[in-house]
Amino acid sequence: MQKIRLERDGVIAVVTLSNPGKLNAIDISMWHGLADTFRQLSADDSLRCVIMTGDGGNFAAGADIEEFSSVRSNYEQGFDYHTKSIAHALEAISGCLHPTIAAIDGVCVGGGLEIASCCDLRIASPDARFGIPINRLGFPLAPGEMQGLLQLVGKAVTLEILLEGRVFGAKEAKEKGILHRIVDDVHADARNTAERIAQGAPLAARMNKQLARRLSPPVPPMTAEELREAFSFFHSDDYREGVRAFLDKRTPDFKGH
């Protein structure tokens, strides 16, 4: 089964996250697949718009925690997982040549919200749910992943989302500035939106994306030391306890070290 499905209808492409047995939780092969898929789409200048969505009534339930013991069980693995696997996927989505639309229903948390934040437009169904509840897992949001959320909703809302770790509904997500609109038939609305975009001049759309990136306030790059320090949580007992507790389906007992 293809976990990253790519379909094309004329000048519109649809990328679907498909891991329905796990609410489309994103494993490492899917992060790599997303990077490859969006690079492929950016190289195709005959396209006009890309819709990003999830299979089976959900967008994505974040990273696949069940594989953490094999793909990010220590500092070096974890550093590469975030700065290469996830970062390359998010960079490919946010840097896509074409306008992108996230069509969101069901769960959109953790890595799912990170992906949606990298899209140009976000449309959701009334039952969609959002959040980044990784405080229960014992680790912070990686710098490259936080940057997309900060650019979208700002410092205050980003800290609220991360410090509380709540999962909240579509109405609150729109109030926070995450969503552009809430509609009953999110997939039909996303398709109609893509068709409106496709009717416009593609060069103008691409230049609007390029200028919006260029004219946004730049963020000074982190030093190598700062970046390494940001992943020091991999050495902590709390990180190991958070992941074990999630897999054991129990409340974690964090000690602060």
State pLDDT tens for residues 8-25: 999 999 999 999 899 999
| Mean pLDDT in residue range 233-251 | 91
CA dihedral sign, ordered 84, 90, 91, 93: positive
Partners of 73 in the beta sheet? none
What is the rounded average pLDDT for all residues in the chain?
Answer: 95
CATH number of the structural domain spanning residue 37: 3.90.226.10
| Mean pLDDT in residue range 175-198 | 98
220, part of any domain? no
| Mean pLDDT in residue range 48-55 | 98
**Is the separation of the CB atoms in 51 and 190 below 8 Å?**
yes
Residue 169's CB is within 10 A of a number of other CB atoms, namely 16
What residue has token string 């437009």?
121
234, part of any domain? no
Owning domain of residue 108? 4-184
**Closest to 168 (Cα-Cα) out of 129, 196, 124, 138:** 129
155, part of any domain? yes
255, part of any domain? no
pLDDT exceeds 80 at position 105 = yes
pLDDT exceeds 80 at position 1 = no
Q: What is the pLDDT of residue 217?
A: 85
167, part of any domain? yes
230, part of any domain? no
Number of domains within the chain: 1
221, part of any domain? no
Residues above pLDDT 90, as percent of the chain: 90
**Selected residue with higher pLDDT from 57 and 218:** 57
Q: What is the pLDDT of residue 20?
A: 87
**Closest to 105 (Cα-Cα) out of 52, 48, 172, 64:** 52
State pLDDT tens for residues 130-183: 999 999 999 999 999 999 999 999 999 999 999 999 999 999 999 999 999 999
Q: Give the single-character DSSP code of 221.
A: P
203 CB-side CA count, 13 A: 0
Confidence of residue 69 (pLDDT cuts 50, 70, 90): confident
206 CB-side CA count, 13 A: 13
